[in-house]
Amino acid sequence: MKDKTYQLLTLLGPTASGKTIVAAHAAKRLNGEVISGDSRQVYREMDLGTGKDYEDYIIDGEEVPYHLIDIVDAGYEYNVFEYQNDFLKVYDDIIARGKFPVLCGGSGLYLEAILKNYKLIQVPKNDDLRQRLENKSIEELEKILRSYKSELHNITDIENKKRALRAIEIEEYLKEHPDTDTEVPKINSLVVGVKYDRLSRRKRITERLKQRLDDGMLDEVQALLDKGLTQEQLTYYGLEYKFLTQHLVGEISFDEMFGKLETAIHQFAKRQMTWFRRMEKQGTNIHWLDGYLPLKDKLDKIQKWLEV
């Protein structure tokens, strides 16, 4: 069914592209298991805001096994170093049990950490550096970060000051430790993307946002606030948590929250596609599937690509 030269199937795509259901059905067909490649779905009690589509893993009444979802508590700041280590443990376990691993996600840095076999390191906190930079604006921090490298490796590094400070901290460490080993064994993956045209993508994002709000996304964020998470902490977890929290603490109205969040998600999806195009330019061969293609046809194409 699958060429042994491929050790992994990767399903990627922007938010609301329907990649999860494709990954789950592909895993079912390939006697495999899904490994999440999403930087936010690792958090427990953050389901609607991170778009965990649990129902997508239920096929014919049976759950397709999935991994690296709900593995740390909200409030913890999980990072790509931890993700790569956790991924490799799960990957080795799946292979050892004779199953086929299917990586699925839209977090570009997490995906590339696996596909480009980066050896990531645990960089210690640099209090002196943080103190020198704490009063800098996000624009000033971006300029400093670009002084280390003209092209930002991770676009989310400049989403807020906390992320930018950490990114500079990592670059400064690597500058001071140039002999750091940054390679891991290569995993040969077939990479498949799912996408819609721009207008369809925007419509799907808006419909999905409305559905998540109807399903109780505001209640989910309120519960996290009630547990003691701060507004700053929740902002770290991305767009939904940022704008919903602003509404819940009375800073913006519901309509303003919805409009700002909808626009921000559209912009985020656009940045995801830009990231994937950059991956292609840098040598990653992505086989694209039209989102409107029937599921069976998508799976047939994937199977054919695996056998080539």
Q: What is the CATH number of the domain that holds 16?
A: 3.40.50.300
Examine the domain organization and report whether 279 and 300 are in the same domain: yes
Examine the domain organization and report whether 91 and 240 are in the same domain: yes
Mean pLDDT in the chain?
90
Q: Which of 294, 224, 262 is nearest to 75 (CA)?
A: 224
Examine the domain organization and report whether 89 and 226 are in the same domain: yes
Assigned domain for 2 exists: no
| Confidence (pLDDT) at 148 | 81
Assigned domain for 1 exists: no
Assigned domain for 14 exists: yes
* pLDDT, tens digit, 9 for 90 and up, residues 13-55: 999 999 999 999 999 999 999 999 999 999 999 999 999 999 9
Assigned domain for 3 exists: no
| Confidence (pLDDT) at 77 | 86
Q: Domain range holding 82?
A: 8-119+183-307
Which of 67-71, 163-167, 206-210, 268-272 is predicted least confidently?
163-167
| Confidence (pLDDT) at 119 | 65
Examine the domain organization and report whether 76 and 193 are in the same domain: yes
Assigned domain for 68 exists: yes
Examine the domain organization and report whether 42 and 114 are in the same domain: yes
Joined together, the tokens standing for residue 122 give 């645990």
Examine the domain organization and report whether 102 and 206 are in the same domain: yes
Assigned domain for 138 exists: yes
Assigned domain for 195 exists: yes
Examine the domain organization and report whether 148 and 228 are in the same domain: no
Examine the domain organization and report whether 192 and 222 are in the same domain: yes
- Report the domain count for the chain: 2
| Confidence (pLDDT) at 154 | 55
* pLDDT, tens digit, 9 for 90 and up, residues 146-173: 888 656 655 555 667 877 888 888 888 8
Indicate if the pLDDT at residue 60 is higher than 90: yes
* pLDDT, tens digit, 9 for 90 and up, residues 103-125: 999 999 999 999 988 766 677 88
Beta-sheet strands, E only, within 196-241: none
Examine the domain organization and report whether 69 and 169 are in the same domain: no
- Find the helix or strand (DSSP H, E) in which 286 lies: strand 286-290
Percent of the chain with pLDDT over 90: 68
Indicate if the pLDDT at residue 196 is higher than 90: yes
Assigned domain for 193 exists: yes
Work out the average pLDDT over 52-69: 96
Work out the average pLDDT over 127-145: 88
Examine the domain organization and report whether 62 and 149 are in the same domain: no
| Confidence (pLDDT) at 3 | 43
Examine the domain organization and report whether 108 and 237 are in the same domain: yes
Q: How far apart are CA 121 and CA 225, in angstroms?
A: 32
| Confidence (pLDDT) at 235 | 87
| Confidence (pLDDT) at 143 | 87
**Residue 209, amino acid:** L
Which of 125-139, 155-169, 183-197 is predicted least confidently?
155-169
Examine the domain organization and report whether 101 and 134 are in the same domain: no
Measured CA distances, 307 to 175, 181, 190 (Å): 43, 34, 10
Write the Ramachandran bin of 158: left for phi over 0, alpha for psi from -120 to 50, otherwise beta: alpha
pTM for the model: 0.80
Measured CA distances, 26 to 11, 32, 108, 175, 195 (Å): 9, 8, 21, 42, 17
